[in-house]
Structure 1
Amino acid sequence: MTTLAEALKEEIRRLARKEIKAATQVTARAVAQHRREIAKLKRQIREQEKRIASLQKGKPSPQKIDESVRFSARSVKAQRTRLGLSAADYARLVGVSSLTIYNWEHGKSRPRQEQLAQLVAVRGIGKREALRRLEDSGKRAA
């Protein structure tokens, strides 16, 4: 009789574990999903905090630009001459050195992503706007 009682207890334990596992499996999946969502939200918060910090410093946040935007050395030179600016003034307008402008115009180097975004931003302005921005930024090279 003891073996029958032990076998019965063991079967009850086995069935109870099976039921508990089935009941908790749904919860475990939900917990895993919630953790993924929390991690995603934390990443978004960090990105937003970086943007806020850059805006508070007065710097524009790095913009993602289209893959369709292309860089051409000739277009940099054409844009600069269209605005009637020296390499130094155009460099100040874009936010780089005049040597960088020289290297871009002669095809010796290419702009980084942030610099390309600044070039794209300058493409749409005219002479008056360019001169105004240069005057606002301070001294203008002769």
Structure 2
Amino acid sequence: MKHISMIMILLAAMSVATHAQAEIPDPDLVFNCDLTNDKGVVIRLNNNVPTYYYGSIEQVEMTLPRIEGDKTQVRVGEMAFAGGGALYYRFINGNFSYVVYSGMGRGWEFTGLKVYQGKKRIMKRECTNGGFLNTNYRGENLVKESDTGDDDTYGYAD
């Protein structure tokens, strides 16, 4: 319950003062953004495992992984592009994947959330502000998408 309360506070603060929140030293906060659909996405480290929170200020609608600390359901990906690159975390929930992504290349830039059913993208929402925060964590304890070959599906901004 403590984590849910913390997320509610984070989501509320996110809509009021995202820039100020990004300056608060919090080593467990990895990603924080408001989306174009008036929802928010937060990634926090929970015992060194990224945890995904999605919802509105009033209610956290989804938390992944479903089993707290289950790093087998979380992947990390990094891609290199001409003129840039990308970093993303993929949270697996059955046949659905929730990809929190930030990348740029020649002539494009995208930071936000993509949702896939199988390998088909069914939703894409851009951040209106926020994104990855300065942190030393880069998914060191997670399965890397490049090792599974899934980076070809999830590693591009589409």
Normalising by the residue count of structure 1, what TM-score does the alignment of the two structures yield?
Answer: 0.23
TM-score (norm 2): 0.22
* Greater gyration radius: 1
Higher helix share: 1
